[in-house]
Structure 1
Amino acid sequence: MSEALQSASTLDAIEPDRGPNRAFRDDPAAPATSAPGSQNALWGAVVSMMLGVFGLVTAEFLPASLLTPMARDLGVTEGVAGQAVTATATVALITSLLVATATRRLDRRIVLLAFSILLIASNLLVASASSLPALIAGRVLLGIALGGFWTMSAATVMRLVPEALVPRALSILFSGVSAATVFAAPVGSYVGDIAGWRAVFLMAAGLGALALVVQFTTLPRLEPRGHARLRTLWEVLMRPQIGLGMIAVTLVFTGHFAFFTYIRPFLETVTGVGISTMSAILLGFGIANFLGTFLGGFLLERSLRLTLAAMPLAMGVLGLMLAGLGSAPAADTVLIALWGLAFGAVPVAWTAWITRAVPDETESGTALIVAVIQLAIALGAAGGGTIFDVSGASGVFVAAGLVLLLAVLLILAGVRSRLATATA
């Protein structure tokens, strides 16, 4: 993983002006890399980006632990309420593809701050929603913030530190995802039971406000880089292995988010546990997911392709086992934690894959990954909701397991870690 990130940073590093309040400028005549130590590391700005990711991913994941009370309060089924996740992911997908082109002349600092403001507005709107359309509107705002911020986050962090420190800075950024996974589900279910689901989204708005303040005080001016074009995304997608890899990514994340979106209804209707036990199970999932991030780094040092295939294989088998066990709280707790451990390695592995596959177009490659993941979240939530209303949570878990096993077959059949360089 470290080699992959360093490769990406070599292509994205720049020589900044001195001083924290000066703009970071690109010089087309400048060398592709900067000498170690030629740029001061802006760790406060890196942490502010991590807080932004933490706030966004927390807001994105909250419906998984609050779906039942949200549906009951709004007078709809859990399957219908789950479409709030679909709305967020669909809008995030579109935003991730368009944001670089739409904001190509704007200071990146201003754009990132605007996305954090949208995060706050989204949570406030959801917290006050009295109907499903109002809830969907709030989640649409979250989709814009999520797709835009995520697409720019890695490239921004690479500009905040010297090249040699890029792996460390990116690990801080991705720790926001792991922390959100640990925090969102168990805290959401526990606080939601005590104070109501609306209070949880008010807390999420507070997290967004904290991120906004830290970003405002630490982020330097970041002038736009290059000439972003939609055509570049298509050119990258058409390179050998990339299209097939994106299909595999879609299947893996579709299977996971069908599982994750409907995990609370599964624990309530199939496992049959109360809110305290449910919160403990979700906490175990989050901690295991956090540890899975480190597992991914360990496995990547040995074999990228093995990691890409082994994690969805484990998740697919676990999904089928969960659906077949019925009411078995102890076994379900272990299996759900193992799922979290396996999934923790998945984003790390696919990030490493894209940086190795398209080292000359890392920003476009990252935009494609963000887009297909959001597409997968939408498919998982929408398809899972339809299956849930027909055959319940166990049916969702069976479908998720089968989709993941299909992804494994595709990865083994054609996904490679070799470079997909541009052809003349």
Structure 2
Amino acid sequence: MFSPAPPNRTIVLLSLAAFASASSMRVMDALLVRLAGDYGIGLASASNTVTVFAVVYGLMQLVMGPLGDRHGKLRVIATACGVSAVATLACAVAPSFASLLVARAAAGASCACIIPLSMAWVGDVTPYETRQGVLARFLLGQIIGLSVGAALGGFAAASGWWQWPFVALAAWFVVVGAVLGRTAWRQPSGALAAGGHPLANLLEVLRTPGVPRVVATVFLEGVVLLGPLAFVATHLNQVRGAAMPVAGAMFIAVSAGGVVFAWFARRIVPVLGESRLSAMGTAVIALSVLGIAWIPWLGAAPLTCFGAGLGFYMLHNTLQVNATQMAPTRRGAAVALFASLFFLGQSVGVALAGRLAEAIGTGWTLTASALAIVPVGMGFAISGAMRRKE
């Protein structure tokens, strides 16, 4: 049963949890050179702290989704925050690189459920007509967390004790998890589904009409857009001559585009509707990424990166709200499948874009991304409009 309005306090708490989860994902990015020096290892080995988090994060979502359906989404999220606090603190006190890898894997596993189960809970308690605006508001935490995590890692890399961001994030997880745990027994925990094997639950979701369309789109979005966008900083540095700190900071502009969309989503979505919003988002993405690739003036980069972020969240938020409605009786499993395939798509996209960049350069790689997102996004928009006419 839907609430007349989802509890604002719970939405804020879930957004704060998403902030910590997203920050944990990105905090290690700028620390790789420091890790390589401190532990006497190569940069490729240091990057395993990012890879192991990402791989475990993606895989564990498939387990955590059905777990939330069975035991209550808020309760599982609150528990995950507590485990994340321990795992994140373990990163700060790890005595060796091997133990740091184990701690990062544990953090990836515990953080995996926070964002997808939060989205699923919003789907449980919010009518579909108003859900997109509520989801956009919740995602402010994730959007800001990605930028803050990267920034914390950058500051830590230049400080005497680089582990301090992990202590701060662990404390954040403790506070949010404790308050959310108390709230979980006062607010609706979300729809509870009968038990069953996680794989059987996922197969049940996949057999639901309309699900393949949404999950295939988000997988392709990850491949053709998010993968190549990982090379924007490299492109601005090597082709446009931007200093690496400046080039890396352009991700803040991408996040700013997402923040602007989230802030105005409640007004924009009812006016445009899902199909026009996703179509316009696709067009904004394509034009912005082409601008990143070919506009020679470096001063245009913040604007084009902002446009890429705005367009991406216009499209992706529409996909997210569809994901929350794909399988209402298995909403946690459905959103977890959606998130896992999006994450897998990004991993595939980074690998493909890396090879493409070596072969034809970053400019043409970004151009290929801009062109490829058009049939993906427009196809989703058109198919959605056709389904609503039936």
**Change beyond 3 A, Cα 1:104–1:312:** closer
Instruction: Give the 3-state SS of the residue equivalent to 2:185 in structure 1.
Output: coil
Distance 1:145 1:99 in 2: 9
- The residue correspondences of 1:402-417 to structure 2 (distance < 5 A) are 402-408=371-377, 410-411=379-380, 414=383
- Opposite residue 318 of structure 1, the aligned amino acid is S
- The Cα offsets for residues 129-153 of structure 1, whole Å up to 9 and x where unpaired, read as 6877555434322332232223322
Q: Could you tell which deviates more after superposition, 257-266 or 125-134?
A: 125-134
- Opposite residue 52 of structure 2, the aligned amino acid is A
- Opposite residue 285 of structure 1, the aligned amino acid is V
- The Cα offsets for residues 169-221 of structure 1, whole Å up to 9 and x where unpaired, read as 64553221233245334454355445675444443333323323332443327
Question: Percent identical across equivalent pairs?
Answer: 18
- The residue correspondences of 1:187-266 to structure 2 (distance < 5 A) are 187-190=152-155, 192-194=157-159, 198-220=163-185, 222=189, 225-229=192-196, 230-266=199-235
Contact 1:64 / 1:260 at 8 angstroms: preserved in 2?
no
Structure 2: segments with no counterpart, 5+ residues: none
Alignment of 1:314 onto 2:279: no
TM-score (norm 1): 0.72
- Opposite residue 184 of structure 2, the aligned amino acid is L
- The residue correspondences of 1:19-418 to structure 2 (distance < 5 A) are 43-66=8-31, 69=34, 75-77=41-43, 84-102=49-67, 106=71, 110-127=75-92, 134=99, 136-157=101-122, 170=135, 172-190=137-155, 192-194=157-159, 198-220=163-185, 222=189, 225-229=192-196, 230-274=199-243, 277-278=246-247, 281-294=250-263, 297=266, 298-299=268-269, 301-325=271-295, 328-355=297-324, 358=327, 362-384=331-353, 394=363, 397-398=366-367, 400-408=369-377, 410-411=379-380, 414=383, 418=387
**Change beyond 3 A, Cα 1:135–1:318:** farther
TM-score (norm 2): 0.77
Equivalent position of 1:8 in the other structure: none
Distance 1:389 1:133 in 2: 31
Residue 330 of structure 1: how far off its partner (Å): 1.0
Distance 1:379 1:64 in 2: 18
Contact 2:65 / 2:334 at 8 angstroms: preserved in 1?
no
**Change beyond 3 A, Cα 1:218–1:245:** closer
Distance 2:84 2:265 in 1: 29
Residue 316 of structure 1: how far off its partner (Å): 3.8
Residue 127 of structure 1: how far off its partner (Å): 4.4
Contact 1:252 / 1:312 at 8 angstroms: preserved in 2?
no
Distance 2:147 2:110 in 1: 21
Residue 48 of structure 1: how far off its partner (Å): 2.4
Distance 2:42 2:363 in 1: 20
Residue 53 of structure 1: how far off its partner (Å): 1.0
Distance 1:240 1:379 in 2: 26
Residue 271 of structure 1: how far off its partner (Å): 3.7
**Change beyond 3 A, Cα 1:54–1:245:** same
Two-structure CA RMSD over aligned residues (Å): 4.2
- Opposite residue 259 of structure 2, the aligned amino acid is F
Residue 348 of structure 1: how far off its partner (Å): 1.6
Distance 2:384 2:123 in 1: 27
- Opposite residue 56 of structure 1, the aligned amino acid is S
- The Cα offsets for residues 251-308 of structure 1, whole Å up to 9 and x where unpaired, read as 1123343245444444444443346634653333322221123465515642312333
**How many residue pairs were aligned?**
384
**Change beyond 3 A, Cα 1:325–1:46:** closer
Structure 1: segments with no counterpart, 5+ residues: 1-12, 14-32
Distance 2:334 2:287 in 1: 30
**Change beyond 3 A, Cα 1:153–1:367:** same
Residue 246 of structure 1: how far off its partner (Å): 1.5
**Change beyond 3 A, Cα 1:245–1:216:** closer
Contact 2:87 / 2:107 at 8 angstroms: preserved in 1?
yes
Contact 1:87 / 1:140 at 8 angstroms: preserved in 2?
yes
Distance 2:362 2:90 in 1: 29
Residue 250 of structure 1: how far off its partner (Å): 0.8
Distance 1:197 1:123 in 2: 13
